[in-house]
Every structure is written in structure tokens, then in C-alpha cells.
Amino acid sequence: MLHSGRKEDVVLSLELFRHLAKREQLEALETYTEALEQVLMLARGSLIDLQDLPTIVIPDLHARRELLLAILETRLETGPLAGQQVSELLQQGRINVVCVGDIMHSEERAYWVINDDGEWSEELLDKEMVRSLGTALMVMYLKIHYPDHFYCLRGNHDDIAGELTGDFRKFVGLRYRNSELVFVDGRPVVTGKKGESQLIRDWVLAREGWGEPFLEKWARFEHELPLFARASYFVVSHTFEERHFDPELDVYIKSPTEMLFSHKTPESAF
């Protein structure tokens, strides 16, 4: 078990990530909270300017610890960095890695529900929390140790407080038949009161020693995730469409009076 998330106490290595990728139990609460505190001190706003280096863009994570591990273990096959491992290049400051977000919420329906009516179980939810929190811990460790070269953007699933989508649901409390979502009169058939987002919030709030303080800290972590990573010839984002980002105000605006993902809220923005 890991006992600390402090940078000076964590020796970052592929062995550590292999351990995290295979874990079937939660780490100690302090492991998550100390990592959160460290990474929150590194917040830089909504827009990140990448260094002019080769950049790997990782798609939505969705609690796939093994995906993140596999990328770190990969040796590049072509180009001037051919033969070198991604993890080594990060350590050397010779590469950028950008995750597009959606850290939590597995996208395997069998990980969430026990039948086609979207019923869930506490056992499945506990396993999902191990996967989701483990993935987030890997992301935080990479950010803490390589703050100028590793970034994770905010996706719509990075919303434990429900400020973006309320109670997001894709599998829980929805009826499926033959692996397809069932619709009646153009609407999905809802079979339960809660979706994935609410289940996770309730799990955190009900867990002894975690509760509202942990929920608030995690929500702050998600809120501080950047929205854009900008390089000399491309931009990476995982944002809603048809909205405008103002880098001077560090806000994301649909209209002069609507602001989303705000890190700073000067009066001039309204």
C-alpha cells in the first residue's frame, strides 16, 4: 500500500505504475488527499502552452489504468526519438504527453450493471472506484513529477460535483436489449433514480473519513484541470462545442453573460 502522495515520498517508476494498474483495493485515503494537495499547487489556468517538442495525445482515459501504463512503456518506432521509451523521454523533458480527460467512469457496461435493466451492485461500484481513483492517482503522480511536460485536460466526465452534467448516466438506471439502449417515444427508458455520477458522489459522501471534505477537494482538482493545450500548429481540447474561450479572462464563454469552467471571475467578464 502507498502511504503518501507527496512528491518527495513517491519514487516514480514503471514498477509503481504496474502496481497501480493491477491494484484491486483502494489506497489509503491519505494517499489520494496528499496527491490532490500537491497537484492543486500546480494549477495554471485553462489554457496551457506546450513546449515545442514531440507530443503524444492520449484519448479519453475512462479509468483505463492499463492504457496509461501501456503508453508509458511504449518505445517509439520512428523519428529522431526512435527506440526510446515514453516514460524515459518524460523524465528527460524531451516529450509532451497530453491526456484529453475523462479520467473516471469505465465505459464497459459489465463494470457497472448486473442486468439489462441497469441495476447496479455495491461490489461493482467498489471495483469501479478502485479503477477510477487508481487512474486519477497515476495522472496526478505524472503531473506532480513532470509539471512542464505532462498534462490532463478536463472532460465532461471530470465532474464529481455535477456542475456540468448533473447526474451523468450511460449504463446505470437505463434499459438495454441486445447491447442496445432502449428508446420509447424518442427517449431512453430510465429504470432507476441514479446514474453513474450520482452513485460515485454518494459513495464518497457515505464512506467513513471521506465525505464532503474529500468531495470538495476532488471537485476542485477537476475544476482546475486545463481546457486547452496549445502548440505551435495544433490545439487539443475536450470541450463543449459552439463556445468561445477568452484566454485573457481565462474563461469559457457562450455568450457575454454565460460563463463555464471559470477559474477567474473578474467583473469585466460579465
On whether both 105 and 235 belong to a single domain, the answer is yes
pLDDT of the residue at 91 = 94
The whole-number average pLDDT for the span 98-118 is: 95
Band the pLDDT of 240: cuts 50, 70, 90: low
CA angle centred on 141, ends 40 and 89, rounded to 5°: 120
On whether both 199 and 270 belong to a single domain, the answer is no
On whether both 69 and 140 belong to a single domain, the answer is yes
pTM metric for this prediction: 0.84
CA angle centred on 90, ends 19 and 104, rounded to 5°: 50
Residue 233 lies in a domain: yes
pLDDT of the residue at 236 = 93
Band the pLDDT of 12: cuts 50, 70, 90: confident
Rounded Cα distance between 61 and 63, Å, is: 6
On whether both 258 and 128 belong to a single domain, the answer is no
Residue 103 lies in a domain: yes
Residue 18 lies in a domain: yes
| Listed range (108-112, 142-146, 197-201, 264-268) with the worst mean pLDDT | 264-268
pLDDT of the residue at 246 = 53
Residue 184 lies in a domain: no
On whether both 127 and 248 belong to a single domain, the answer is no
CATH of the domain at 107: 3.60.21.10
pLDDT in tens, 28-72: 999 999 999 999 999 888 899 999 999 999 999 999 999 999 999
Q: Which of 27, 48, 28 is nearest to 247 (CA)?
A: 48
On whether both 16 and 129 belong to a single domain, the answer is yes
Residue 49 lies in a domain: yes
Domain count, the chain: 2
pLDDT of the residue at 11 = 63
Rounded Cα distance between 224 and 230, Å, is: 17
> Would you give the distance in Å from CA 94 to the centre of its chain?
24
On whether both 143 and 44 belong to a single domain, the answer is yes
On whether both 145 and 206 belong to a single domain, the answer is yes
The whole-number average pLDDT for the span 200-213 is: 95
Residue 114 lies in a domain: yes
pLDDT of the residue at 94 = 96
On whether both 127 and 155 belong to a single domain, the answer is yes
Cell of residue 247, nine digits:
484566454
Residue 179 lies in a domain: no
On whether both 140 and 253 belong to a single domain, the answer is no
Band the pLDDT of 269: cuts 50, 70, 90: very low
On whether both 26 and 116 belong to a single domain, the answer is yes
Residues in the chain: 270
Please answer whether residues 264 and 249 qualify as being in contact, where contact means their C-beta atoms are separated by less than 8 angstroms. yes
Residue 173 lies in a domain: no
Structural domain containing residue 263 = 244-270
Average pLDDT of the chain is 86
pLDDT of the residue at 21 = 95
Band the pLDDT of 9: cuts 50, 70, 90: low
On whether both 64 and 132 belong to a single domain, the answer is yes
